[in-house]
Amino acid sequence: MLTTAEIVRNAWRAGLMVPAFNVPYLPMVEPLVRAVVDQNVFALIDTARIEWLTFESQGPAAVYREFVKWRNPDYVRLHLDHVPVIDEDDFEVDYVPIIQEALDLGYDSVMIDGSKLPLEANIAATRQIAEMAHRVGAPCEAELGAIVREGAGPLPPYEELFASGMGFTGVEEAARFVRETGCDWLSVAVGNLHGAVSKAFKDQKKTKARLNLDHLAKLRDATGIPLVLHGGSGIQRAYMLEAMKRGIAKVNVATEIRQAYETGVRETGSVKGGQDAVYERAVWMLRDYFAISGSRERVVK
């Protein structure tokens, strides 16, 4: 059986991508796995620290226990998403034990987010986690650049942010970062936005973001590893499809399916209604938005 690192690299080489679905609510796991299998794709189920604190996924152990009920490694693997060194409120996080717990549980891949650190400190923190992950055969994702989170504070208009390139991942820095950390995948900032999680903004529709594709191609050439796009919900489809050809091999999706679940529960008064809504939205994303239905054999080979 191929490792998760090999599968994502196969997607990268083929100009395809592996969707990574975040699960802020545990009942979302089953319909997501079912949608992935029905559409014959390979995907990751993600869980991020901010979701344990803000929503109801509870933590790495709870997500792992739910995942193993539906585990199907030919189609889905489990990924520890965003564990920050400095969190969204600018507090330091004791990140090493969190990531070690996930590796001990059997997570297939992990992410360390040192993007709020100076470059040297981000390199040091990422190198430490990459070495931890590699000791048990798991790939390590890292982040470089500043991916803005909607609703996190007053910001200039999106078009102004995009035109300025504010926070975009630097090409020379990315080459050095990958070389010195040994990370397997790199999350980059090229115009993408994280979704809002605060109560005031979490139900709002995401900004229709676009991507600087020329800058993305430069990052691909400079790093030579699969690149990751966070904030996959809301990106204009033409940019998303082109991004796959320019180095993006993993795309995180959170807002699109979280809001589907919450709306389904609210409108039907039942968890089953939320699960049905998640399944339908995931199928739409895989089949109509990403257009990767039937692609599994091209990456799991």
Q: What is the pLDDT of residues 205-242, one digit of tens each?
A: 556 778 999 999 999 999 999 999 998 667 889 999 99
- 228 phi and psi angles, rounded to 5 deg: -120, 140
Distance in angstroms (rounded) separating the CA atoms of residues 253 and 229: 9
User: Is residue 230 within 8 Å of residue 147, measured between CB atoms?
Assistant: yes
Angle of the 237-245 helix axis to the 213-223 helix axis, nearest 10: 20
The region of weakest confidence among 71-80, 103-112, 188-197, 246-255 is 188-197
- Please give the Cα distance from 197 to 156 (Å, whole number): 19
Specify the residue for token string 């999106």: 158
CB neighbour list of residue 36: distance below 8 Å, 6 or more residues apart: 42, 43, 75, 76, 282, 286
| Mean predicted lDDT score pLDDT of the chain | 91
pLDDT in tens, 110-129: 999 999 999 999 999 999 99
pLDDT value of position 205: 58
- Say what the pLDDT of residue 119 is: 96
The confidence score (pLDDT) of residue 155 equals: 62
The Cα 254–Cα 21 span in angstroms is 6
This prediction has a pTM of 0.91
Comparing 8-22, 141-155, 233-247, the range with the smallest average pLDDT is 141-155
Average pLDDT over residues 193-205: 51
**pLDDT range class, residue 147, cuts 50, 70, 90:** low
Q: Indicate if the pLDDT at residue 149 is higher than 60.
A: no
Q: Hey, where are the domains in the chain? A: 4-292
User: In angstroms, rounded to a whole number, what is the distance separating the alpha carbons of residues 138 and 110?
Assistant: 7
pLDDT, tens only, 260-288? 999 999 999 999 999 999 999 999 999 99
Q: Both tokens of residue 189? A: 């900032």
Residue 77: helix, strand or coil by DSSP? Answer: strand
Pick one of 3.20.20.70, 2.30.30.90, 3.90.1300.10, 2.40.50.460 as the CATH number of 4-292.
3.20.20.70
pLDDT at 207: 61
Distances (CA, A) of 216 to 51, 92, 210, 298: 28, 30, 12, 23
The whole-angstrom separation of Cα 248 and Cα 149 is 20
pLDDT digits (tens, 9 = 90+) for 57-104: 999 999 999 999 999 999 999 999 999 999 988 999 999 999 999 999
Q: Are strands 76-84 and 43-47 parallel, antiparallel or unpaired?
A: parallel
- Residue 257: pLDDT band with limits 50, 70, 90: very high
Interior/surface letters 24-39, b for 16+ CB within 10 angstroms, e for the rest: bbbbbbbbbbbbbbeb
Segment 32-40 mean pLDDT? 98
How far from 41 is each of 11, 115, 260, CA to CA, in Å? 11, 30, 21
Between 11-15, 88-92, 121-125, 175-179, the lowest mean confidence (pLDDT) is in 88-92
User: What local confidence, expressed as pLDDT, does residue 194 receive?
Assistant: 57
Catalytic residue numbers read: 81
pLDDT at 200 over 50: no
Q: Give mean pLDDT, residues 141-160.
A: 70
What is the widest separation between alpha-carbon atoms in the chain?
51
CA distance 33 to 3: 18
**pLDDT over threshold 90, residue 146:** no
